Amino acid sequence: MAQRITQQQWRRWTDWPLAGLAVVFLIAYSWEVIGELRGTARDVSEVFEWIGWTAFAIDYVVSLALARPRWRWFYTHLIDLAIVALPILRPLRLLRVASAFILLQRHAGTQFRGRIVVFAVGGAALLVYVASLAELEAEYGHGGRIQTIGDALWWAIVTITTVGYGDVTPVTVIGKLVAVCLMFGGVALIGVVTATLASWIVERVSEEEQAEEQVITALQFEELREEIRALRHQLEKAAETPEE
């Protein structure tokens, strides 16, 4: 009887290939939007995009089938469902393998915090760029201010940082929906950065308190050793003294 494939094995086999497909998709999507492709060039770009979508859809279905318990995996991996359902989010698959580069973190807590920082920074950069592409695709030719990739990037950066100058705004329904998603992304990013910083401060304070406690304990232990030596010396002296 063949051995059943585990979800961890499937993840090890597919993480890097899917990350490569995410890069291919991002390049094809960027080429299509920024280059304003038409005809055969656009068809070629869409073929690569459909290949990526198909691979992500297969990965999601297989991962769900291998998950135990399945329902718990489903509601804890809604971002994977979004990546499949919303083509614009597919490049975020790159974040799955970002943690593999955190090799300098030795302790479990530090490793987790480092992974969160990588996710936050990498996710913000990808989200800004992908949202810029989506916004440019939605707004181009509809009379708004967002007609170049430069305008789209400026708008995305202003939006995700919650600055909101209002000099460049979307005019289409899809463009406004992208803006809403980006706003939520900005709020989430601020929350992650704040929580990570707070965790780092608490850990440093805890480490200093532990160091102080270790020093105090060492001093107390040394004092106890000295008292034991003195008591032993007195006992030896009493034993050597002849009884009258």
For 170-221, the pLDDT digits (tens) are 998 888 888 888 888 778 777 776 776 677 677 777 767 777 777 777 777 7
- Of 182 and 122, more confident: 182
* 3-class secondary structure, 11: helix
Rounded to whole angstroms, how far apart are CA atoms 95 and 14?
14
Q: Ranked by mean pLDDT, which of 139-143, 149-153, 173-177, 232-236 comes out on top?
A: 149-153
Phi, psi of 87, rounded to the nearest 5 degrees: -55, -30
Residue 152 pLDDT more than 90?
A: yes
pLDDT band at 100, cuts 50/70/90?
very low
- Of 133 and 4, more confident: 133
Share of the chain above pLDDT 70, in %: 77
pLDDT of 151: 92
Residue bearing tokens 């939006």 = 159
Considering only 24-38, 68-82, 145-159, 183-197, which range has the smallest mean pLDDT?
A: 183-197
Q: Ranked by mean pLDDT, which of 130-134, 185-189, 234-238 comes out on top?
A: 130-134
Q: Which amino acid is at 87?
A: P
pLDDT of 107: 43
Residue bearing tokens 């170049």 = 148
How many CB atoms neighbour CB 199 within 10 A?
A: 15
For 62-96, the pLDDT digits (tens) are 988 888 888 888 888 877 777 677 655 555 554 44
pLDDT of 17: 83
- Of 100 and 79, more confident: 79
CATH class of 106-208: mainly alpha
Residue among 179, 158, 162 nearest 170 (CA):
179
Domains of the chain, by residue range, sit at 1-101, 106-208
- Of 37 and 180, more confident: 180
Q: Over the chain, what is the mean pLDDT?
A: 76
